[in-house]
Amino acid sequence: MDPIIQIDNLFIEENTVFTELIEVIKKNFAENKLMVPKRHHHDFPNPKMNSDSTLLLMPAWNPSETAGVKIITVSPENSQFDLPSIQGTYIYLDATKGTIKAIIEAKSLTAKRTAAASALASSYLSRKDASSLLMIGTGALSINLIKAHASVRKLKKVFVWGRNYNKALAICKQLENEDFTITPIKTIEEKIGDVDIISSATLSKTPLILGKHLRKGQHVDLVGAYKKDMREADDETISKSNVYVDTYDGLNESGDIAIPLKTGVLREEEIKANLFELTSGKKGGRMDTDELTVFKSVGHALEDLAAANYYFEKYISSNK
């Protein structure tokens, strides 16, 4: 049996080209050849932290070719240990023989594929002339989201807000040599109404994006709030926007969609499209410059397997 390849975070960080990864994920959504069962979502007690943790199992298959399953834990209080909230691994398989081809560090893989999916959605939903972005959140996803969005829209100005201002400063320092200016801010309100794109990746249980601050033509990218009791955007944001999602399978997993659906603020049939429909051309994206769009990402195992294929092929090519 061939040895099992180990692909670590460093390799993923050094070998990601967002334009390539976005195209790979776009192709997989458009072709829709992968078999993806509904993911397992299990909340379990974490009494030492006085907060539940979550275990996610996300399998996918390309019959007789490749397969894989991502095993992820989400521990919201990990900042106390100076660790990202998301931890995990990806088991990459030969779908014909069932053998393990690679073990891929899932922390970076998840961050990269999530950011790429958001940027893919933005390519359909944000204005083509969008040039400014507000990043809400300073976790592991934030830098990836900024870079991914900048790969599909020519950003000139980026602003970063986090509950810890020093973390926002640190992100700006890391990205100070990019082609855009990047500035930390102390309140969301000071910039939310001025930017073209708002990307949010937090574990907030109360809305941070308030519809009263939004204007026509903006695009809102909701990436965090992965549980039913979490929300990044309020009812007014949802009610005044055209809503798009990555997949219809996860509508009841995040409070950003589940709560408005439950209260009648949003009806399922009002959701405009998912990434399968956008990438295949079955449905269109932004209709005009005044449209206010919201994209809610809950994550899809198709993205994981597509990214695993991408990094495995890069690893093999670099080691020939």
Here the CATH number for the domain that contains residue 62 is: 3.30.1780.10
Interatomic CA distance for residues 202 and 240, integer angstroms: 22
| 65 secondary structure, DSSP code | T
3-class secondary-structure state, position 44: strand
Express each pLDDT in 262-297 by its tens digit.
Answer: 999 999 999 999 999 999 999 999 999 999 999 999
Phi then psi for residue 299, to 5 deg, are 90, 145
What percent of the chain clears pLDDT 70, i.e. is strictly above it? 100
Q: Per-residue pLDDT for 167 more than 80?
A: yes
| H-helix or E-strand spanning residue 316 | helix 301-318
At residue 286, φ and ψ (nearest 5 deg) are -55, 135
Stretch 243-252: mean pLDDT, rounded? Answer: 89
Whole-number Cα distances in Å, 207 to 3, 204, 222, 247: 47, 7, 11, 22
Q: Give the three-state DSSP class for 195.
A: coil
Number of folded domains in the chain?
A: 2
> Is the same domain home to 160 and 250?
yes
pTM of the entire predicted model: 0.92
Predicted local confidence at residue 1, as pLDDT: 65
CATH number where 243 lies = 3.40.50.720
Mapping DSSP to helix (H, G, I), strand (E, B) and coil, where does residue 267 land? Answer: coil
- Average pLDDT of span 41-52: 82
Supply the range of the domain harboring residue 66.
5-109+302-318
Cα–Cα distance measured from residue 197 to residue 201, given in angstroms and rounded to the nearest whole number: 13
pLDDT at 47: 78
- The answer on 277 and 239 residing in a single domain is yes
Same domain flag for 57 and 186: no
Q: CA–CA separation, 59 vs 158, rounded Å?
A: 35
**What is the average pLDDT value for the chain, to the nearest integer?**
93
Residue 221 φ then ψ, to 5°: -110, 110
61 and 187 in a single domain? The answer is no
Convert the pLDDT of each residue in 107-137 to its tens digit.
899 999 999 999 999 999 999 999 999 999 9
Co-location of 168 and 23 in the same domain: no
pLDDT value for 223: 96
